[in-house]
Amino acid sequence: MLEVLFLLLPVAAGYGWMMGRNSVRQAQRKQSSILSRHYFKGLNFLLSDQPDKAVDTLIKMVDVNNDNAETHIAMGNFFRHRGEIDRAIKVHQNLVEKEGISETQRERALFELGRDYLLGGFLERAESSFLSLLNSQKHYLNAQQQLFSIYQTTKEWDRAVELAESMVDNFGDSEELSSRVSHFYCEQAALFIKSEDYEQAEKCLQKSIYADEHDVRPWLMLADLAINAKDYKTAFGYLAEVPKRDVTWFSEAVPKLWQCAENTGNWTELSELLNKYSEKCATAYLATVSLLSRDKSPEEAAEFLRAQLQKSPSMRGFNTLLSLYAENPDNNQETTASLTMLQELIQNQINLRPKYRCHSCGFSGRKIHWLCPSCKQWGLMKPIKGLDGD
């Protein structure tokens, strides 16, 4: 009996091998049949000009795994670049939901899905996708940048500040991040000012100063708050801080400083401050010209202005000089009329020129944009310097 069992072992092994082989062949034939059916179905959709259904069929046809996941991601990106957002979402969403791919590839697909949603205007879904990547070592920073973009669009400054502070805790401070946080606090302050909650607005502006000591925006806003409260002495102190941070912005502070001096009578302090920066700012030396013309004589003001124009010429300075010449009582009527007409022509030309330009992308305009409308960077639009500017 034992001998018979030993004789039957090879037979049993052979039978098992044959059954297993037949089972594999049956599975392959079944898979081939399914692929063939999906293939012809997808081909029919393409020929019938139904690409959406063809894409769905392709997704079902190809078994997603670690080897072809990158191909699927690339296909989704291709659809997105063509503006076919719905198809891109379908491809990337299928990847995120599939089992059998690595966590790295799933995170990559989730990031691309967030970009699909963002481009399609589905901001809440995009936010959800990027929030899911905040614990990803590879995609954390990119997800943060996309979330900043969303919060800037929706003006959710509280969440933007919270996100920025989280970045500082995890990656440390940087010049770009400090500037961003400072402007977020200023945007919060602007909302409080709009609702006339000036106490909260001032607190936000103090936080802005702490976030970025080089930012001039909170000092200008604090000065506006003080001027509105008729506290001109305090406003003068705030405005005096502007050129210490960035002398480029002193041109924005000078008109407000003049207003403070008019209400306090402290012209001496204004004159000293203007003289300190007149070599670097046309608005400063033009304000000095106004002081000289008022307190001394137009001739002395014109002489000072000619000296300044030789050092740093500007269209505004030349136009002011023409104005001084036109006001000379020794002129005859024809000379005065000619100078006045020339002055008006130059002023019209000045009015057509942009006042601010982004130092990153070159976008320019006549209105201050703390967030550049073109490159979406904070604090890089500044007053234009030189012959056509300040």
pLDDT tens per residue, range 156-184: 998 988 888 887 777 767 788 888 899 99
CATH number at residue 383: 2.20.28
Pair 306, 384 in one domain = no
Do 382 and 337 belong to one domain?
no
pLDDT tens digits for 82-119?
A: 888 888 888 888 888 887 788 888 888 889 889 989 88
Residue 165 CB-half CA count within 13 A: 12
Percent of the chain with pLDDT over 70: 79
Across the range 119-124, mean pLDDT stands at 89
Say if residue 69 is in the same domain as residue 148: yes
Q: Is residue 101 part of a domain?
A: yes
Residues 127 and 144 in one domain: yes
Contacts 24+ apart (CB under 8 A), 362-367: none
- Give the residue with greater pLDDT, 116 vs 326: 116
Q: Which residues are paired to 378 by β-bridges? A: 371
Residue 7 lies in a domain: no
Q: Between 311 and 42, where is the model more confident?
A: 311
- The count of domains in the chain is 3
Mean pLDDT of the chain: 80
148 and 80 both lie in a single domain: yes
Choose the final residue of a domain: 99, 121, 154: 154
Question: Does 39 have pLDDT greater than 50?
Answer: no
Query: H or E stretch including 381?
Result: strand 381-383
Q: DSSP secondary-structure letter at 266?
A: -
109/139 same-domain check: yes
Last residue of a domain, one of 97, 121, 154: 154
- Does residue 136 sit within a domain? yes
Residue 233 has pLDDT above 90, yes or no: yes
Q: Are residues 378 and 336 in the same domain?
A: no
* 172 inside domain: no
List the domain range (segments joined by +) for residue 375.
353-390
Answer yes or no: do 287 and 364 share one domain: no
Asked if the structure places residue 66 within a domain, the reply is yes
In a domain, 239, yes or no: no
Tell me how many degrees the CA angle 170-173-176 measures, rounded to the nearest 5.
Answer: 120
Rounded Cα distance, 334 and 242, in Å: 44
pLDDT attached to residue 24: 45
Looking up tokens 């990559």, which residue turns up? 108
Q: Which of 113, 134, 154 is the last residue of a domain?
A: 154
Q: Examine the domain organization and report whether 333 and 371 are in the same domain.
A: no
383: phi then psi, degrees, rounded to nearest 5: -60, 140
Q: What tokens appear for 188 in the block?
A: 């919060």
Taking each continuous run of H as one helix and of E as one strand, the counts in the chain are: 19, 3
Within a domain: 79: yes
